[in-house]
Structure formats: structure tokens, C-alpha cells
Structure 1
């Protein structure tokens, strides 16, 4: 049953939300609304409708049809009495703006600016990047307050809004990533601008090709693969920062040289180009597209890690730390200074997946396999680690042993790995 979110109440079993589960502030596919605060979170997230399962939870309230109470009946029967009061009417308290409210305002601000920029590009006009400076500042401030809020709002996109909202999301990801890497604020700002303009060349691609739901034929694929060069040409001249042109031209290159348009590889690609490749792909695969459903963040990062040669592996690891969503199979350090392997995706919170601890860092000793919760009440994840650094050539064998161990063996009394 589909209902308006405003009609939701505690006890309802939410089967789906408008915009997909990634738009939900709870970051999970299904949930029971446990309190009025849970309902308020859905409303504050801008979710207009939800799908509920009345077999698993309560349904909507029926229209009022019960007989009047005694007090109500007396009041109804009594003659009306006019009471004059000199007291001022009560003031309506306004709800304080949440970070999601602020993020929605930034997205609305971006709409006009980005659509105007894209319209200029379609007409072949010069791009005035200075017009985007206020938007870059707003995105930077939003990311500084709460890096997840803006990305949550950009997930609520239709297929017609994908191109410009994708650019806003990539700009936000690049700003947050730059700050995580400790780059100067001016460089972070320029990277944010680069994210906003990285796909400007797609305005030279016919809409029928961009929005095609099936596979592209070779001719269509060739047209799409020219968009970096088209965008770079639009950004020539003027005082556009070099990094903006660099990202526009090279965000589809790969470190193994199998990207486009030039097949550059390794150190021939700038730090900005390698960062943008990660941010661009991550947002693309976790977003609703005309031709595919979004991947869950943890699954997306796991797949990206498996694409050997596509990304700079050290930058991808840093990006995962920045996002805070560690994919299944990743090696992580826990607050207790234990090493653990991620077993799956967190159901309630993708930043707190189940893990299996197996190594104590202070004593450099292997531990009995122990399945651990990583939420705030358990043993939270501090960051990712490299297995080869800790275990050298034996890492692949050890990793396989930990992941394939019987779940009954994963307890405080279980055998140590390799013992």
C-alpha cells in the first residue's frame, strides 16, 4: 500500500520509499517505524510517499467515525458562547532547518546555475565559470557541515535531472575528498568547480544517445567518448583554472592506460584526474540511470576495488576511508586496535558493517576469529588497512582462511587463524 509520508505513524512496516532506499535517512531497504522521530526523519528527508506492508505492521488510521465521547457530546449540545480574550494568539514554533533542508536549498540553487551553463554549452557559447563561484562556496559549506546530506539529496533525481545533479554530486565528492587528503582549501574549491564542469561536453551529445535505455552501438559509443574533448574545447581561453580543464579532459582515463580519450596511464595522469575518475564512477554507479538501477554503496566500492587497473589503488583506498563505507572483504582497523575483515553490508548503517576480527596490532598476535558489530555500541571501524603491508606474501591465503571459516568457529573461543 502506498501512502503519503505525512500519514505515516509508528508501528508501520516500510517496504520502500520514494526515490529508492538510498534516499532514506535510515540507509536500509525495509524498516519498522519505531517512534514519531522516525516518521519525522522521513518527512525531513523530503520523501513524499512510502510503501507499507500492513501484514507486517500497522496500517493508516481509519477516518474518524467513532461515536462522540460524553464530553464532546455535551459540548456539541451546549449553546455556543463567545469568549473574548485580550491575550495574543499563540506563536507557531517553526522547526529548525536541518542539514537536509540546507542541502535541498543548495540543490535548488544549483538547478538554475547548472541548467543555464548547460544551455550555453549547447549553443556553443563561452562558459563563464565565475557564475558558479557562489555555488561552489555553498557546496563547500554543506560538505563541511555534513558530507552525507548533499549526496542524499542528489539521490532524489529523475532521469531528466541526472546530468546536472551528477555534476553537483561529483563536485561535492571532490571537495570532500580533497579535504580528506589535506589539500589546500583553494585547491579543494577548484576541484569542486571541476566536478561541476567535468561533463559539460555531454551537451554536444544528442539526448537520445544520453538517455538510451539499451546498449549503445559502436557509432553512439564513439560519440559519447568524445565528450571530454568537446568539454575541454568549451573551457579553453579565459581564466578557467588549469585543474578544471584537466579533470574535464581526463576523468575517463585509467591508470592502466585503457581509458579514453588518450589512453594515458600511471603518473602521466594528474592527482586531480585520478581523484575525479574515482568520484565520477562512484556517483554514477550508485545513482538511478535511464538504463540501470543503482548499486548499493558497499557493493559499488567492492566492485570498483575488483577492477584492477581502473583506479589508483591508494587513492581508491583513501576515498573509501573518506566515505566511511567499507566493502565486503576489506581489511579494516577497529577502535580496539584489532584487524578485521568486512563480512557484508551493514543493514541499518552501511558505515557499520559486520566484521570478523583476527589479529591484535599491539601484540602482533593472531587472535581467535571473532565476529564483531561495528556500530557505536560495538567496536567501530577507524579506517582501512593494506593486507600486504601487515602479512606480506601470505596475505591472500590468510584472507581466504578468515572469510571462509565456518561461522560457528567465529567466536571468542575459536581457533586462531593459521594455528
Structure 2
């Protein structure tokens, strides 16, 4: 505790940590939790060590930060992955704590989602994808906050993460792929990328309204009535999100993410020109991510196997968009 007391009294010599520092919220200091990272306070022209790596956070830490009026703490770049893991482990508690301002809870969601998106980006896409490509995704997540930084939206996000964590991670994976493919031909419409990115991320939220066991069984073991229930999840998802101020493009992506180019999809059987191209991208990336991720009775496929499976479904997907997905995955130049 000597370090924090010194920081409060101003009699600790500021020390400049080596490397890059990331700004984090003081609300992330949760009593009775151990941080696997060091925390620093900014003071004058340097930084003061506030909490040592491995130190147990206490109510005294929170009270001291409040007395100091601290708006930001700092984490070293080398500790950021441990901070992100801490944030994931405690995200539900943070989102559900209404004593924390909405802005700070939304910030916690943003940081955790950026971390998941980075992992999906590094796993799914070629190593030579440039930093600007991920910066686009980071900006999209930040811009989503103008729609999601609300109590009701954060409650739904909390439920999605708590009850459908794998669905949420799948949604992040689909969002990363969707935005990467859309960026090959949507150049100057950031609002559309944000709207479609949110739709990709939330596309399966309607599954929370149905018995979880429907989605833990192989499709060929479901009765017709159960299949009909499964096929209702896009409409249920729109119902869940209908009270939120989401763009129409977001709701369209949620509703139509199982439609197909040849009309063989659901819930409406819409086809071809009836479907906006961004909806077709979400549907395609949803299928690809689901295949490489695997599921009940389905082993994960390799990227090559997944693309071969998709190409075998003749007429189901827009040919040009499929070429764009393949080019994005291989980092090939588009004609």
C-alpha cells in the first residue's frame, strides 16, 4: 500500500515505465480481485506506480481513486493481454453494476470486444493483413457505442455474453470477416460498416429466446416442430433488439442472415436482388465461421474444407462475394 499512499501524498518520485502505456478506466479496479498487471497513475510529467502486478485490489483502492478524482489509469503494453483476460473474467460483473456510470460500463464492453476481435482477426486472417485493417474494426466497435452505451442495450449484451458466450464469440468472428470483405468494395460509408458490423455481431442473439438444447443437438435429430423453432431465431433476434435505437441495416442483417441467393434460406425465402449485398456478406461469413468453428456433431473444418463445402452449395451464395471472401482470406489481389 506504500506506493498508493505515496501517490496520493505526492511524495513518490514519478517513474516512466518503459514502452507504450494503455489508458484504462479506474472502474476496472474491482475489490477482492487480483490484477495480473501493474497499474500506473499519471502525475506531473511522469507516472507513479499505483498497484503492483499480483496485488489484491481492495475497497481502499477504490476509495483512494475516488478521493484523487482519477479519470484514467495506465497499463503497460506488455501487461495488456493480462489486463484483457482480467476484463473478460470480470466483464459480466462490470456490465451489471449499475453503480458504475453507463459510459464506463460501455467502455469495458468496448475494450473486451476489441480484445476478442483482435484474436479473431489474428486467427482468421492472413498474417500480412495490415494494421489499418484492424484499426477499421477497432473504430467500428468504438462507433457502435453511440447505439449500445445505454442501460437497456448493456443488459442485453450482458445476457448475450452470460447465456451465449460461444454465440457471442462466433458473432465477433463473423463481424471481423464481414467488415474485412465489405471493405473490399465499400470505401466511403463508415456508417454502413458500423451498422452491418453490429448486425453481424448480434445476428444470433435470438437463440437466447429458445431452449439451449435445441442448439446442442445435431440438426438431423430435430423434429420438424423443433426445426421450425430453430428457424424462428432470426425473427426473435429482431424482437430482442426492437427496443434499441439500431439502424435498419443492423436489423436486416439479424433477420436475413440465413437467407440464400437461390431462395432456399429462411425465414422469408428471399433471393437474389431482394437481398442487400451486405446481408449476403453476413450470411456468407456466418456460414464460413460456423464451419471452421464446428458445432454439435460437426468437427471444425480447415479453411480450405470450409470454402470447398460452401462452393459445393451451388447457387446458395453470391459468386462475386465468395471470390471476395476467398481473396480476403488469402490476401490475394481482387480483379
> TM-score, normalized by length of structure 1?
0.44
Query: Contact (CA 8 Å) 2:84, 2:111: kept in 1 or not?
Result: no
Structure 1 or 2: more strand by fraction: 1
> 2:305 is paired with a residue of what secondary structure?
helix
Query: Contact (CA 8 Å) 1:282, 1:301: kept in 2 or not?
Result: yes
Q: Does the alignment pair 1:171 with 2:175?
A: yes
Q: Does the alignment pair 1:212 with 2:217?
A: yes
Q: Does the alignment pair 1:261 with 2:267?
A: yes
Instruction: Tell me the equivalent position of 2:231.
Output: 225
Query: Contact (CA 8 Å) 1:110, 1:168: kept in 2 or not?
Result: no
How many residue pairs match? The answer is: 217
Q: Offset at 1:106? A: 8.1
Superposed, 1:318-329 pairs within 5 Å as 318-324=324-330
Distance 1:310 1:242, change over 3 A: same
Determine the C-alpha separation between the residues in 2 that align with 1:182 and 1:141: 25
- Of 182, 201, 213 in structure 1, the residue corresponding to residue 206 of structure 2 is 201
Superposed, 1:37-48 pairs within 5 Å as none
> 2:238 is paired with a residue of what secondary structure?
helix
> 1:171 is paired with a residue of what secondary structure?
helix
Determine the C-alpha separation between the residues in 1 that align with 2:164 and 2:203: 18
Moved more, 273-282 or 237-246: 237-246
Determine the C-alpha separation between the residues in 2 that align with 1:239 and 1:206: 27
Query: Contact (CA 8 Å) 1:167, 1:195: kept in 2 or not?
Result: yes
Determine the C-alpha separation between the residues in 1 that align with 2:94 and 2:250: 19
Query: Contact (CA 8 Å) 1:212, 1:291: kept in 2 or not?
Result: yes
Greater gyration radius: 1
Distance 1:299 1:139, change over 3 A: same
Query: Contact (CA 8 Å) 2:206, 2:236: kept in 1 or not?
Result: yes
- Of 172, 185, 197 in structure 2, the residue corresponding to residue 192 of structure 1 is 197
Q: Offset at 1:314? A: 0.6
Q: Offset at 1:260? A: 0.3
**Root mean square deviation of aligned Cα:** 4.0
Per-residue CA deviation, residues 388-416 of structure 1 (Å, 9 max, x unaligned), is xxxxxxxxxxxxxxxxxxxxxxxxxxxxx
Q: Does the alignment pair 1:148 with 2:134?
A: no
> 1:180 is paired with a residue of what secondary structure?
coil
Superposed, 1:114-125 pairs within 5 Å as none
> TM-score, normalized by length of structure 2?
0.54
Structure 1 or 2: more helix by fraction: 2
Bigger relative contact order (CA 8 A; separation at least 6): 2
Instruction: Tell me the equivalent position of 2:13.
Output: none
Distance 1:297 1:110, change over 3 A: farther
Instruction: Tell me the equivalent position of 1:314.
Output: 320
